[in-house]
């Protein structure tokens, strides 16, 4: 059957209203079997992606009842009026993404530059460089794609770059070992005297002082904060089941940990912990003005007093968080819908979606940071 004929069938108005209602009830029942979610805020009125329903509708599309509900179901999948391509970012800065098709830098005007076959990457302080990793190689690269140095190491994971503009350090994991080296690729040190590291990305404390302080999670779920210049431990937390993500506030005063049933906020100086009971947080990120975003099966903002505000609640799976440098926009992903979703959090309440992400990058990438 030709594409034109298929389109004509899909666009045909329903002739049998009772058949339409019967099929729509079937779709509604399939939706009801999914995990129940809170209704998204009124200000983010949108049409949400349901990949399971999309498959059911596709199977029924060529039957008369199926044709009758195609238009109705179209209103429940994807983001309404999503752009067909990333024409520009909604805020200044450059976006770093990485995955199966390598590492890419996306400029504010939407132009893209591929940095190489690196499935992991993160920004250096101030976005001057990118540290990227293949399974057995670590590399420092400019955003324009020039390679400054490479280092061969086995099973590299979670490269992270911290420090000041002129004095930087890089941390990464190999199996359960934590490594630290200078930003010029020299002095690679295995922190063998410290407890083994869990498979969690380490995090450098933002600082303007001449200190390089690193937080990481041990295999027992403890957070250890280390002064890597002095080789001393500042504090060690209690153990937390399912600890799997760390993030520092931009002023360096708070450290957030995502665990199985809670988010823990630590005072950077003392390690004193404040616990917020919330299950299933998979990622977290601080904005430049101190707001903490949490990723569960929805995107949440942590308010004063531990209250949680829902920003975005799609029924499909979401992944990744990246704040714009000015803190006005928060980017997340809908992999099943092949879309990026930009949520405005300051100066308005718009939601912008971009589709066909896989076609633009060769594979659906992970968000690795939005730098100025």
**Mean pLDDT of all residues in 104-110:** 98
> What is each CA distance from 323 to 24, 203, 308, 336, 342, in whole angstroms?
38, 16, 18, 22, 10
Q: How confident is the model at residue 85 (pLDDT cuts 50, 70, 90)?
A: very high
Task: Give residue 361's Cα distance to chain centre.
Answer: 16
Distance from C-alpha of 196 to C-alpha of 24, rounded to nearest angstrom: 54
Distance from C-alpha of 150 to C-alpha of 136, rounded to nearest angstrom: 10
At residue 55's C-alpha, the angle toward residues 53 and 59, to 5°, is 115
Rounded to two decimals, what is the model's pTM? Answer: 0.79
Please name the helix (run of DSSP H) or strand (run of DSSP E) that holds residue 60, with its range, or none: helix 51-60
Distance from C-alpha of 121 to C-alpha of 323, rounded to nearest angstrom: 16
pLDDT at position 341: 97
pLDDT digits (tens, 9 = 90+) for 205-217: 997 676 899 999 9
Distance from C-alpha of 245 to C-alpha of 301, rounded to nearest angstrom: 16
Q: How confident is the model at residue 241 (pLDDT cuts 50, 70, 90)?
A: very high
Q: How confident is the model at residue 78 (pLDDT cuts 50, 70, 90)?
A: low
Distance from C-alpha of 310 to C-alpha of 38, rounded to nearest angstrom: 9
Distance from C-alpha of 74 to C-alpha of 271, rounded to nearest angstrom: 50
pLDDT digits (tens, 9 = 90+) for 314-368: 878 999 999 999 999 999 999 999 999 999 999 888 999 999 999 999 999 999 9
Average pLDDT, the chain: 84
Q: What is the DSSP string of 155-206?
A: SEEEEEEEE-SSSEEEEEEETTEEEEEETTS---EE-TTSPPBPSS--EEPP
Helices and strands of the chain, counted as H and E runs: 5, 28
Residue 239 in this model has a pLDDT that exceeds 70: yes
Domains of the chain: 118-281 (2.130.10.10)
């Amino acid at each position: 059957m030709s594409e034109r004929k298929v389109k004509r069938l899909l666009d045909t108005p329903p002739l049998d209203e009772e058949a339409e209602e019967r099929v729509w009830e079937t779709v509604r029942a399939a939706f009801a079997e999914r995990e129940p979610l809170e209704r998204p805020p009124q200000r983010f009125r949108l049409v949400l992606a349901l990949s399971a329903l999309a498959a059911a509708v596709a199977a029924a599309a060529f039957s008369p009842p199926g044709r009758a509900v195609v238009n109705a179901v179209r209103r429940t999948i994807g983001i309404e009026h999503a752009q067909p391509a990333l024409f520009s970012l909604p805020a200044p800065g450059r976006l770093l993404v990485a995955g199966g098709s390598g590492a890419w830098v996306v400029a504010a005007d939407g132009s893209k530059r591929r940095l190489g076959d690196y499935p992991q990457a993160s920004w250096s302080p101030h976005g001057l460089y990118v540290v990227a990793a293949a399974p057995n190689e670590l590399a420092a690269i400019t955003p324009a794609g020039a390679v400054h140095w490479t280092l061969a190491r086995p099973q590299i994971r979670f490269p992270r770059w911290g420090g000041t503009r002129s004095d930087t350090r890089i941390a990464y994991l190999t199996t359960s070992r934590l490594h630290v080296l200078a930003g010029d690729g020299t002095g690679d040190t295995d922190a063998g005297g410290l407890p083994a590291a869990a498979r969690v990305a380490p995090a450098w404390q933002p600082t303007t002082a001449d200190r390089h302080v690193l937080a990481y999670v041990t295999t027992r779920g403890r957070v250890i904060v280390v002064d890597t210049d002095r080789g001393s431990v500042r504090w060690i937390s209690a153990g937390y089941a399912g600890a799997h993500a760390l993030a520092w506030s931009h002023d360096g005063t708070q450290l957030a940990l995502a665990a199985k049933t809670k988010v823990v906020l630590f005072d950077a100086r003392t390690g004193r912990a404040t616990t917020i009971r919330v299950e299933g947080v998979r990622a977290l990120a601080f904005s430049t003005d101190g707001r903490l975003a949490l990723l569960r099966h929805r995107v949440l903002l942590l308010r004063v007093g531990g209250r949680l505000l829902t920003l975005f609640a799609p029924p499909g799976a979401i992944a990744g968080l990246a704040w714009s440098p000015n803190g006005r926009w928060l980017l997340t992903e809908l992999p099943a819908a092949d879309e990026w979703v930009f949520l405005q959090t300051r100066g308005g309440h718009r939601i912008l979606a971009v589709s066909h992400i896989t076609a633009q990058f060769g594979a659906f990438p992970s968000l690795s940071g939005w730098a100025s």
